[in-house]
Amino acid sequence: MVKEGGRYRDMDQEGKLQDVKEVFALGNLQDKQELVGRTDDLYGLLVHSTSNVGDDIQSLAAMHFLPRVDVLIDRDATRLYKSPRPVKVIMNGWFTHKPENWPPSEAIKPLFISFHLTPNVVEQILTKEGIAYLRRFAPIGTRDRFTQRVLEEHGIEAYFSGCLTLTLGDIIRVPRIKGKVLIADLEPEAERHLPSTITNQALRITNSLIPNLDSTLNKLSGYASYRIVKQLVRSFLPKKARENLDYRLRSTFVRHLSVQHRLAVAMARLFAIASSEAVITSRLHVALPALGFGIPVLFVHKDLSDPRFEGLLPLLHHYDIISFAKEVKNIDWTQLRNPRPEAVNQLRKQLIANIQRFLALDQSRLA
């Protein structure tokens, strides 16, 4: 895979996955002391320690705009980052498992775009210090209308940018496999309503790096005895240890994975999506890349009122479990189309233009 003018030249899947480390230069990142004498712009990439491949897809979405990656920065530890020189960072994605590490370091020169603030950390992020920080870098491009509204209520200029993964169609172009339907982490109670002509031939993927553990935890959460034991364990832990208990457990199991490995897995997921004729999923970061590739997508989720989805649902066919059960029999699988491709393309163009301005790149490189 070769980067040419902001794009990646098409090759076969095996070749692309083999070349991820070389193309992104992640194996030869500069030592911080070696950055001291540099006079050119430095570029940083947010990386993650979660079990969610969707986070790594966010990294790839930002990475393809960068001329190179000089440093890797943990999304949940941006305040702890230190550098002798400012580093430009695209601050996209979900924030954050560790609000105590906010606001980010002064060494980071951020572009806030496709930024989501999870509801349970709003008070910890939007302190007097946090508000002043975001105002410095406004307007803030938000991934969803919920985040836009919360920021504006705190006097922070914001706009709805949509998700950076809507631009992924610019870097991965593969033929669609005739008849291929992709099912990704679909709720079991939704999948049972699909016709057998779909389920018998569908390709299934997961956005979990540890699917066996996730599956076990999800099954256990359905048992009252497990919930009681879990609550009992929490009662003996200090407050800080109780927070994000499931996140901490999952992170322990993926800590050994290299960034290169995580990005290769994410790239493989994107190939699976891009080569499909239709996608059915409960995962936002399968649905949105599918929109970016122009792949018809059915998004089925038990809670469509989740703040993460606000403003994004009109872009795709969306159902809760009950409505999907009622309407799936009326779906014409040969005529699937996304409802608002023009709106998706407009968001994509706006995302690209804003990032180009931030990076001060020639407009022709990423157009």
Q: Is the separation of the CB atoms in 161 and 143 below 8 Å?
A: yes
Distance in angstroms between the alpha carbons of the first and the last residue of the chain: 19
Count CB neighbours of 284 within 10 A. Answer: 23
Q: Give residue for tokens 């951020």.
A: 110
Q: pLDDT per residue over 205-222, tens digit each?
A: 999 887 755 555 555 466
Lookup: tokens for 237: 């832990």
Residue 303 to residue 41: CA distance in whole angstroms: 43
Whether 242 shows a pLDDT value over 60: the answer reads no
pLDDT of residue 83: 87
Whether 234 shows a pLDDT value over 60: the answer reads no
Q: Is the separation of the CB atoms in 187 and 207 below 8 Å?
A: no
Q: Which residues touch 40 (CB under 8 Å, ≥6 apart)?
A: none
Count CB neighbours of 175 within 10 A. Answer: 8
> Quick one: DSSP state of residue 52?
B
> Quick one: DSSP state of residue 184?
E
pLDDT of residue 41: 80
Closest CA to 114 of 75, 52, 166, 153: 166
Whole-model pTM: value is: 0.82
Confidence band for 257, pLDDT divided at 50, 70 and 90: confident
Whether 196 shows a pLDDT value over 60: the answer reads yes
Q: Is the separation of the CB atoms in 107 and 83 below 8 Å?
A: yes
pLDDT of residue 210: 72
pLDDT of residue 352: 96
Q: Is the separation of the CB atoms in 24 and 263 below 8 Å?
A: yes
Residue 330, judged by CB atoms within 10 A of its CB (0-12, 13-18, 19+), counts as exposed
pLDDT of residue 209: 84
Q: Cα angle vertex 87, ends 86, 93, to 5°?
A: 135
Residue 13, judged by CB atoms within 10 A of its CB (0-12, 13-18, 19+), counts as middle
- Of 2-6, 38-42, 257-261, 334-338, give the lowest mean pLDDT range: 2-6
pLDDT of residue 168: 96
Residue 358 to residue 10: CA distance in whole angstroms: 27
Residue 82 to residue 127: CA distance in whole angstroms: 22
Residue 178 to residue 72: CA distance in whole angstroms: 39
Query: How far from chain centre, in Å, is Cα 337?
Result: 23
129-to-5, 86, 94, 103, 157 alpha-carbon distances in Å: 39, 20, 20, 8, 16
Whether 243 shows a pLDDT value over 80: the answer reads no
**Alpha-helical runs (H) found in the chain:** 13-18, 20-24, 53-63, 122-125, 128-136, 145-153, 188-191, 196-199, 211-220, 224-236, 239-242, 245-254, 259-274, 284-293, 321-327, 341-359
Residue 156 to residue 265: CA distance in whole angstroms: 36
pLDDT of residue 336: 96
**SS in 3 state form for 203-264?**
EEECCECCHHHHHHHHHHCCCHHHHHHHHHHHHHCCHHHHCCHHHHHHHHHHCCCCHHHHHH
Lookup: tokens for 113: 């775009």
Residue 351 to residue 357: CA distance in whole angstroms: 10
Q: Between these two residues, 20 and 143, which has the higher pLDDT value?
A: 143
Q: Is the separation of the CB atoms in 207 and 54 below 8 Å?
A: yes
Percent of the chain with pLDDT over 70: 76
* Contacts by 135-141, CB closer than 8 A, 24 or more apart: 137/110, 137/111, 137/112, 140/112, 140/113, 140/115, 141/111, 141/112, 141/113, 141/114, 141/115, 141/351, 141/354
Q: pLDDT per residue over 327-366, tens digit each?
A: 999 999 999 999 999 999 999 999 999 999 999 854 444 4
pLDDT of residue 169: 93
pLDDT of residue 173: 87
